[in-house]
Amino acid sequence: MSIRDIFRKNQKKRYATIPTEKAKNDVPEGIMMKCPECRKNVFTKDLMKNLKVCPTCDHHMKMTAWERVDIFLDEDSFVSMDDHLETVNPLNFPSYTEKIKADGQKTGLNEAVLTGIGKLDGQQVAIAIMDSHFRMGSMGSVVGEKITRAVEKATELGIPFIIYTASGGARMQEGVLSLMQMAKTSVALRRHSDHGLLYISILTHPTTGGVSASFASVGDINIAEPKALIGFAGRRVIEQTVREKLPEDFQTAEFLMNHGQLDAIIHRKEMREKVASIVHLHTTKEVTK
Amino acid sequence: MIKVLPFEEPIVQLKTKIEELKEYTASADVDMSAEIIHLEARLKKLEHEIYENMEPWDRVQVARHPSRPTTRDYIQLLCTDFMELHGDRLYGDDAAIIGGIALFEGRPITIIGHQRGIDTKENIKRNFGMPHPEGYRKALRLMKQAEKFKRPIICMIDTKGAYPGKAAEERGQSEAIARNLVEMAGLKVPVISIVIGEGGSGGALALGVANHIHMLENSTYSVISPEGAASILWKDASLAKQAAEAMKITAPDLKKMEIIDTVIQEVHGGAHKNIEAQAEYMKETLINSLIELEKLTPDELIENRYIKFKNIGEFNE
Ligand SMILES: [Zn+2]
């Protein structure tokens, strides 16, 4: 089966879910899911209708990249890019290649980000959607390259670039190459910005480390999903360093909002409409009375 | 007394033995000069063998040597008329990063770098060279100032990483680093970065989006410390030595990967053995870099930086 076929298959089976190991034991696979926040069981069908937001406690659960395509972009408008790029094992880490292959099969993605061109309420946008089900969304060479190419495409076409971030940070197994992807995506974003084009960063749970400290934080507009974990250093590392209790809401979207790091926190149900509206405000050229 | 590193011990032992023989010869009637000459030749060979074949972990030890020269030492030796400039104009003045204007080889430059302390007291003041957001914002302010006055920018990288603390998160550590990356990408003046000690992760990269990146031979540049890598990858921080090799973090490694431009030679045993000589090596590389970059127009400088970083990454197409 070619990579393309995997994608087609995945596209048809739109609401594919990835039950956790624990969920598998708790409830019949696929039919019901347990909310990781309030522990209530919910019918998968109902959960999907509710955009994977818990009907009981409003917890925004993790989504796959393809699920986000479905709920965010105009129907059948999305064309993916660079699905053919393949991760290599530059530092020869044992079992790295196998792990990448396994996650590829699990998610139907070639790497931890899905990129392409699509339409948002009729407006053409370039988009990158990170998927934390693939190596925790960590950024290696292919993730950096795919995002960079998507930004370049946006610059070439003169259209907005939108990213959904979800990442644990750097991809350890690619060493300093992983670190340098922060700089690589930044030089591309700089050029996009210099063309007067709009960049919207939508931070979702979790966005930490090198991804938080690069493209995720420098949107013209930074938006987060409610309660998303967003931060530079890990909570445990900080607790060990400062030896003081951190507030309950530390590094949540709400914490960042209170500290002036975000433009808005937007509920998943309103995300499409609100972001489309922002894009309209940046592309409307004529003055209408 | 300068700290001796484990890999240098055979050299120190041999040196001690030679000293003892010399003393003995001076005080006794026995002539040991033939033996001394023999041992001195062996010492030379041994020094060559050890210092020319340093393992990654040896280099990590040198990079972390308590007497390793810091940004301030190099500014003093390379520049004249240095005037330190303080503060980010937003919150405070972070002593973990210093910066200012100076003359280098007759031209005004802006020079910025991480600053560690030389003793515990200074390290507390400078937070062991681990910046808060205001450090990065001060650095950016000075870079934009340099751009306005068309001065080249030299950055010295020497940090274990950005500080992982509560206040740093509250004030936007992520944004401060990220902002520097995109802003450095667009600077219209030459930017040269030199890793002089430890180049730790995003906190190092925030001074690293340069036209030319050089590394001192015994410096490191990595996404995570060897200890951190060992505990994540193998759940055992004591495997740091193996991680230092596996992660490819030394200057020769980064040169091989074509991430950096030049490995700046170090004096035998590390920069701390002769700071003046080390500054001379550094000066030569800096002059060559500046001459090359000063030929480029502002647009070409931005393009040059773009291509440089765009090309970093390994994958199959
Ligand atoms: Zn719930």
Q: Tell whether B211 lies on the interface with A, counting CB pairs under 8 A.
A: no
**Portion 218-237 of B in contact with A at CB < 8 A:** 221-224, 229, 232-233
Domain finish residue from A21, A45, A61: A61
Domain enclosing residue B33, as ranges: 6-53
Is residue B1 situated within a structural domain? no
The mean of the pLDDT values for chain B is: 95
Structure confidence by residue, pLDDT tens digits, A115-130:
999 999 999 999 999 9
Tokens 């660079």, located at residue: A82
> Are residues B31 and B170 located together in one domain of the fold?
no
**Are B303 and A194 in contact, with CB atoms under 8 Å apart?**
no
Q: How many CB atoms lie within 10 A of CB B257?
A: 17
Known binding-site residues of A for Zn(2+) equal: 35, 38, 54, 57
What is the pTM assigned to this prediction? 0.93
Cis bond upstream, residue A206 (ω within 30):
yes
The burial class, CB within 10 Å (0-12 / 13-18 / 19+), for B111 is buried
Regarding whether B128 and B47 lie in a shared domain, the answer is: no
Residue A264 and residue A203 in contact, taking contact as beta carbons nearer than 8 Å = no
| Residue keyed to tokens 């105009």 | A74
C-alpha distances in Å from residue B135, one per residue of A164, B43, B118, B162: 29, 45, 19, 9
The domain total for chain B is: 2
- Centre of ligand 1 to C-alpha A217, Å, is 28
> Do B39 and B74 share a domain, yes or no?
no
> CATH code at B226?
3.90.226.10
Cβ separation A186–B175 shorter than 8 A: no
Residue-by-residue pLDDT tens, chain A, 289 positions: 344 444 444 444 444 455 555 444 444 557 898 999 999 999 999 999 999 999 999 999 999 999 999 999 999 999 999 999 999 999 999 899 999 999 999 999 999 999 999 999 999 999 999 999 999 999 999 999 999 999 999 999 999 999 999 999 999 999 999 999 999 999 999 999 999 999 999 999 999 999 999 999 999 999 999 999 999 999 888 988 877 789 999 999 999 999 999 999 999 999 999 999 999 999 877 766 5
Same domain, A37 and A75: no
Question: A93 with A194, same domain?
Answer: yes
> What ipTM score was computed for the predicted complex, to two decimals?
0.94
Same domain, B103 and B179: yes
Confidence check: pLDDT of B175 > 80: yes
Query: Do both A73 and A196 map to the same domain?
Result: yes
- Say whether B246 and A93 touch across the interface (CB within 8 A): yes
* Shared-domain flag, residues B282 and B222: yes
Q: Which residues contact A172 (CB under 8 A, 6 or more apart)?
A: A138, A178, B223, B224, B229, B232, B233
- Model pLDDT, residue A287: 66
DSSP helix/strand/coil, B165: coil
The answer, yes or no, to whether residue B20 has pLDDT greater than 60, is: yes
The contacts of residue A119 (CB under 8 Å, 6+ apart) are A73, A74, A77, A78, A125
CA dihedral B173, B174, B180, B182 (to 10 degrees): -170
Q: Is residue B22 domain-shared with residue B161, that is, in the same domain? A: no
Spatial distance between the Cα atoms of B163 and B133, rounded to a whole number of angstroms: 9
CB B19 within 8 A of CB B5: no
Q: Name chain A contacts of B223, Cβ cutoff 8 Å.
A: 170, 172, 174-176, 178-179, 210
Q: Using one digit for the tens of pLDDT, what is the confidence trace for B66-97?
A: 999 999 999 999 999 999 999 999 999 999 99
Helix ranges (H only) for A40-109 are 44-49, 65-72, 96-107
Kindly state whether residues A15 and A77 are assigned to the same domain: no
Contact yes or no for B185 and A190 at CB 8 A: yes
User: B135: which chain A residues are within 8 Å (Cβ-Cβ)?
Assistant: none
Sort out which chain B residues have CB atoms less than 8 A from A257's CB and list them: none
Chain A neighbors of B313, CB-CB under 8 A: 141-142, 144-145, 177, 180-181, 184
Number of domains in chain A: 2
Q: Which domain holds residue A131?
A: 62-282
Say yes or no: A40 and A106 in one domain: no
Quick one: tokens of A210? 């090198």
Longest dimension (CA), chain B: 76
Residues B112 and B248 in one domain: yes
In a shared domain, residues A194 and A274: yes
Asked whether residue A272 falls in the same domain as residue A197, the answer is: yes
